[in-house]
Structure 1
Amino acid sequence: MEPTYTIYEQQIERKLKRWEIRLQRQPNLIERASKLVQNRINQVIPEKVHNTITATVKGIVQTTLFGVGYMPSSEPLRGLSLGDRDAKAEELLSLYKKIAAAEGAGTGAGGILLGLADFPILIGIKIKFLFELAHIYGYSTKDYRERLFILYVFQLAFSSSKKKPELLRTIKNWPVISQTFPPAVDYAKQIDWLQLQQEYRDTIDFRKMLQLIPGIGAVVGAWANFGLLEELGVAGMNCFRLRSLQDKANCGFI
């Protein structure tokens, strides 16, 4: 039996289908050429730099899996319509875009060292946003599988076109796939940290490199961070919308 969606939910369902099509399209010529250039750049970057960035990503991801620092103090919202959740999510995204832009402007104005320091700070802002977003859509981040879901959303937002379809399939089949995951400590051992940090860095390289240029760093830093939060917000809201509609279809109202 087909679920009875409201008019708003039907509109969102159509938007989600268009979003999924865009995610699964093949990379265009410019994107393929950009990836080749980025691969060449990665080959000449010293191993020590790769190791440092990988360690940073690994530390933040492990904090996401095992820590409580990102966990919202408020309980997940219950009994709201999808439209109400979306409205609250838009408010949250607007706030975090301003926070990220201010942080990018500050570190961008500080030259190369502060510009590099922006890397872990910005990831922390993004992860915190996703934790709060999960609670808006009614999912408790006390469950480590919900924290894993957040990591998949993060990867979907900042992975290559080649990787996105696979991540989208995982997110769409989350109710089944999440039950197959081992305990968090064992799951962490399976993560390819180097690939994760390269996928993330490659999607933000151009914008973040401009942030290091003297004289324009503050403006570019604010612009880059604002845009990156916007991309994350779109991916995050759509992923949680997918789950909300799936829950309703399965009669598992939140």
Structure 2
Amino acid sequence: METAEELKQALNGITKWEQEQRDLWIWDRIARFPFKILDRLTPKFIHEKIGKALDELGGYIQDGGKYLVSSGQIHQKLRESGDLPGNFPVDQLPLSVMDAVAKDLSDSRSTFATLQGATTGIGGIFTLAIDIPAILGLSLKVIQEIGLCYGFDPNSQQERIFTVKVMQFTSSDIVGKRAILDDMNAESASEYKDSEAGNATLSRIQGWREVMTVYRDNWGWKKLFQMVPIAGMVFGAWINRGMLQDVAEAAHMLYRKRRIQLRIAEMEYHHPE
């Protein structure tokens, strides 16, 4: 296991990443504006398809639905990577093992997203109706898998709420990212395991539909480039890969931070100064 000093150094690295997310880039706002107009030109059937996907994702918070992943395979990967027996508690694994499996999963899902983006890009904007629900589902999947790598089980409703907050963070503009980070930093890592704290977090999301609508509205570049059949293959592959990498990075940092905070809290409890 890591020493207190190693954990604090790791936490400092995540804090630096968070600060980078808060930095204001002029292009962050400029790049979004044209696509709010473009969104109005999107055919109705695509909006209906997206709306159905949003309804399904809303059910994810309540019971997981078809988007809930199984922990068995991820736990097996973790124990095999750490060369540990099957009954070894996953949340006690060294951070280095958790990090390695999380990275492997991120790379694998990003590759899959690249192929998916290329495939659905062939048909231009019309195959976007297939691509958007698929990439949303894949985003949820990789967030849950990375959460499992750090010992957090999506079978808990509170953890599914946190999953949605990670998606919200990834898709938000600079103002939204700051607000979400401030919200997360205002709570201790242990609060996410508490039922009452989970309910409070749910109310602060202000409804899953708002979260998912923001996520949808940030597909501007994909909508623009995938209007061109065939050429959409290249852009679809590139953009899907980038989006999955962003989601995976946010999940990695935010779940890793929670695990580090929990370990520091445990050390302080058992070995108070």
Report the TM-score when normalising by structure 1. 0.83
CA distance in 1, matches of 2:205, 2:173: 23
The offset of 1:201, in angstroms, is 2.6
Mapping of 1:51-70 within 5 angstroms?
A: 52-69=49-66, 70=68
SS at match of 1:163: helix
The offset of 1:49, in angstroms, is 5.9
Equivalent pairs, count: 247
1:16 is matched with: 14
Among candidates 77, 95, 98, match of residue 108 of structure 2: 95
Mapping of 1:1-254 within 5 angstroms?
A: 4-7=3-6, 9-26=7-24, 28-42=25-39, 52-69=49-66, 70-74=68-72, 77-172=90-185, 173=187, 174-176=189-191, 179-182=196-199, 190-191=206-207, 193=209, 195-251=210-266
The offset of 1:208, in angstroms, is 4.3
Q: Give the 3 Å change call, closer, same or farther, for CA 188–156 of structure 1 in structure 2.
A: closer
Q: Give the 3 Å change call, closer, same or farther, for CA 192–44 of structure 1 in structure 2.
A: farther
- Point out where structure 1 has 5 or more consecutive residues left out of the alignment: none
The offset of 1:183, in angstroms, is 9.7
The letter of the residue matching 2:161 is L
Q: Percent identity between the aligned chains? A: 23
CA distance in 2, matches of 1:109, 1:61: 29
Q: Give the 3 Å change call, closer, same or farther, for CA 65–23 of structure 1 in structure 2.
A: farther
CA distance in 2, matches of 1:61, 1:52: 14
The offset of 1:155, in angstroms, is 0.8
The offset of 1:206, in angstroms, is 0.9
Q: Give the 3 Å change call, closer, same or farther, for CA 159–183 of structure 1 in structure 2.
A: closer
The letter of the residue matching 1:191 is G
SS at match of 2:137: helix
Q: CA offsets, 1:107-148, max 9 Å, x none?
A: 112333223210001111111111111111111112110111
- Point out where structure 2 has 5 or more consecutive residues left out of the alignment: 76-89
The offset of 1:23, in angstroms, is 1.7
CA distance in 1, matches of 2:126, 2:3: 54
Q: CA offsets, 1:81-102, max 9 Å, x none?
A: 1111011100000110111111
The letter of the residue matching 1:159 is S
Is residue 105–residue 220 contact of structure 1 (8 Å, CA) maintained in 2? yes
CA distance in 2, matches of 1:119, 1:42: 14
The offset of 1:192, in angstroms, is 5.5
